[in-house]
Amino acid sequence: MTPSTAEHAQMTVEEFEHLEKHAPESVKLEFIRGKLKVKPMPDQRHRAIVMWLLTQCMQQRPELLLYPEQDLKVETYRNGRAYADAALAPVDHFVTQAGMWADSSGVLMVVEVTSFDADTHLRDRVEKRDGYAAAGIPVYLLVDRDKDALVVFSEPMNGAYRHCPSYPFGSTVRLPDPVNITLETEKLKDYAN
C-alpha cells in the first residue's frame, strides 16, 4: 500500500508548484508520492514513439487527441503532479481548465515512454503507475524501451491496476475500453535501441 503523501512529503504542493514554475525550461519537475522528481528530457526516438502513437490515435479515434507532454494532477486527492509523455482525452478537454496542472478526470489513457536513466524503473514502472491508478485513469500505456515491449495497465481499483499484460514490439495490441484503439506495433522495432 502506498504511504500517504502528506506523511512523507518533502514540501507542500503549493511549494512544488512555485519551484516548478521558476525552473529553467530545460528541466521538467514532477511531484510524486510527496517527493520532488526530475524528469529527463526526451531523446529523438522517445519523441518519435509519442508521435507514432499520436498518429495512430488520430486515425482511429478522431474525436480524441493524444496531448504530448501533458501536466496532470495525480494520486489520491490529486496531491501529485506528473508530466505524462502523453494523455488521451476528448478534443479540447483541457481548454477550460485553469492553471498549469490539469485535473486528470476525463483522461482516458496516459502514456509513458521509458528513458535510459537510473530512475526510469522507479518513476515509470512503479510511482507513475501507482499515481495514475490512484487518479482512476482507465488505461496506462507504458512503452518499455528496455524490454522492447508495451505494457497495458487497465482497470484501476483501490489505487492499483488489475490487469497488466505485456506485448513485445511487433505485436498487435488492442487497448481496452474506453480507449478502443488497436496498435500494429511493428514500427516500434525501428525505434528500438
User: Which of the given ranges, 15-29, 59-73, 76-90, 95-109, has the highest pLDDT on average?
Assistant: 59-73
**Residue 130: inside a domain:** yes
Mean pLDDT of 96-100: 80
What is the rounded distance in angstroms from the CA atom of residue 176 to the CA atom of residue 139? 8
Which CATH number belongs to the domain containing residue 101 in this structure?
A: 3.90.1570.10
Closest CA to 37 of 140, 112, 110: 112
For the stretch 82-91, pLDDT in tens is 889 999 999 9
Report the pLDDT value the prediction gives residue 6, as an integer from 0 to 100.
44
Give the confidence band of 33 by pLDDT, cuts at 50, 70, 90: low
Beta bridge partners of 153: 140
**Residue 27: inside a domain:** no
Higher per-residue pLDDT: 98 or 50 = 50
Amino acid, res. 52: W
Q: Is 53 exposed, middle or buried (0-12, 13-18, 19+ CB in 10 A)?
A: buried
For the stretch 4-16, pLDDT in tens is 444 567 767 677 6
For the stretch 101-148, pLDDT in tens is 899 999 999 999 988 777 776 778 888 899 999 999 999 999 999 999
**Total residue length of the chain:** 193
Report the pLDDT value the prediction gives residue 86, as an integer from 0 to 100.
96
User: Is the separation of the CB atoms in 163 and 153 below 8 Å?
Assistant: yes
Higher per-residue pLDDT: 143 or 79 = 143
**Residue 23: inside a domain:** no
**Residue 62: inside a domain:** yes
Grid coordinates of 85:
509523455
Report the pLDDT value the prediction gives residue 37, as an integer from 0 to 100.
66
Report the pLDDT value the prediction gives residue 89, as an integer from 0 to 100.
97
What is the rounded distance in angstroms from the CA atom of residue 64 to the CA atom of residue 177? 14
Report the pLDDT value the prediction gives residue 2, as an integer from 0 to 100.
41
Per the prediction, the chain carries an average pLDDT of: 85
Report the pLDDT value the prediction gives residue 11, as an integer from 0 to 100.
67
Is the pLDDT confidence value at 170 over 80? yes
**Residue 34: inside a domain:** no
Higher per-residue pLDDT: 75 or 66 = 66
**Residue 129: inside a domain:** yes
Higher per-residue pLDDT: 173 or 192 = 173
Task: Give residue 39's Cα distance to chain centre.
Answer: 12
**Residue 12: inside a domain:** no
Report the pLDDT value the prediction gives residue 115, as an integer from 0 to 100.
82
Q: What string of DSSP letters covers the chain?
A: -PPPHHHH-SS-HHHHHHHHHTS-TT-EEEEETTEEEEEPPP-HHHHHHHHHHHHHHHHH-TTEEEEEEEEEEESGGG-EEEEEEEEEEETTTTTT--SSSEE-TT--EEEEE--SSTTHIIIIIIIHHHHHHHTT-SEEEEEETTTTEEEEEEEEETTEEEE--EEETTSEEEETTTT-EEEEGGGGGGG--
What residue numbers bound the domain in which 139 lies? 42-191
Q: How many domains does the chain have?
A: 1
**Residue 37: inside a domain:** no
